[in-house]
Structure 1
Amino acid sequence: MEFIDIPHDIKVFGHQVLTFPNGVGEAFDAIVERVEGGFSRPFYGLARMEGNSVIYMAAAIEKFSEEGKQLGYEEYVIQKGKYAAITITDWHSKLSSLPGIFSQLMKMEGLDPEHWAVEWYKDDDEMVCMLRMKDEVFN
């Protein structure tokens, strides 16, 4: 486990996967097809609990202001701060292990439950699972 400092808010856009966990791949494929440069930019999976359900958003980093709006997507913000993180390589073959990885991260003291759980798809091989820490943990 490591800590990653995100120095500024990250603007992303995307849409909710209503059939989570089914349909996640298709949701990302749809965004990749619509954005300039395809998978040449970082993509994100954002998740949080609402009651007993997982709300999951497939998202891409915004390359220019209001790109998501122009493409008809919702806009979200991954807030700056420190994140507990676990990096995974060859993530395509390890998707079934993601719940266990996030369970491991959720055992950390000082997590901020008000923020999204984040899957940062850096490229086609490397992905980072992240949970935001409370600001006072590092101050």
Structure 2
Amino acid sequence: MEKIKFDKDIKVFYVNAKSFPEGIQEAHQKLHSLITFSKDRKYFGVSRPEQGGEIVYRAAAEELESGEAEKLHLETLVLKKGEYVSITIKDFAKDIMSIDRAFKELLALPDLDPQGYCVEWYYNEKDVNCMIRLK
């Protein structure tokens, strides 16, 4: 387990998954069909309980240019700057449930931001940081 610090807010646009966890892959595929891949862009999975406790999952990408989300007709949210507690998973596709286990471990920690998200940061094609913002 480690800590990662974001020095500035990250505005992302997203595609909602139709269901959780079944709709996650479809949401990411839809998002990637709308934008050209860029090594300069950060890609995320963002989730938290909403609407009476049901988990809402969003496949998200960092907005690189102002107005990009509006051009794509996508909603936005902000991943707040600050310190995040994180677990890195190498080659997550070999054990997709490792993401679920990582978040269960992180959610048991004290001092989490009660308004924060469970954030998957896909920083390359094989690896992911599972993160939650601290208070």
The TM-score normalised by the length of structure 2 is 0.92
- Counterparts in 2 of 1:89 and 1:39: CA distance versus 1, 3 Å: farther
Structure 2, unpaired ranges of 5+: none
- CA deviation vs aligned residue, 1:92-119 (integer Å, no higher than 9, x gap): 2221122211010112111111111101
Tell me, what secondary structure is at the counterpart of 2:96?
helix
Quote the sequence identity (%).
37
Contact 1:5 1:82 in 2 (8 A): yes
Give the whole-Å Cα distance in 1 for the aligned partners of 2:92 and 2:55: 21
Contact 1:42 1:123 in 2 (8 A): no
CA RMSD of aligned residues (A): 1.3
Contact 1:92 1:125 in 2 (8 A): yes
Structure 1, unpaired ranges of 5+: 135-139
CA-CA distance at 1:39 after TM superposition: 5.9
Give the whole-Å Cα distance in 1 for the aligned partners of 2:93 and 2:42: 15
Mapped pair 1:76 → 2:77: yes
- Counterparts in 2 of 1:39 and 1:94: CA distance versus 1, 3 Å: farther
CA-CA distance at 1:124 after TM superposition: 0.4
CA-CA distance at 1:52 after TM superposition: 3.0
Where do 4+ consecutive residues of structure 1 move more than 6 Å?
none
The TM-score normalised by the length of structure 1 is 0.89
Number of corresponding residues: 133
In structure 2, the residue matched to 1:137 is none
Give the whole-Å Cα distance in 2 for the aligned partners of 1:70 and 1:110: 37
Give the whole-Å Cα distance in 2 for the aligned partners of 1:39 and 1:21: 26
Give the whole-Å Cα distance in 2 for the aligned partners of 1:93 and 1:13: 28
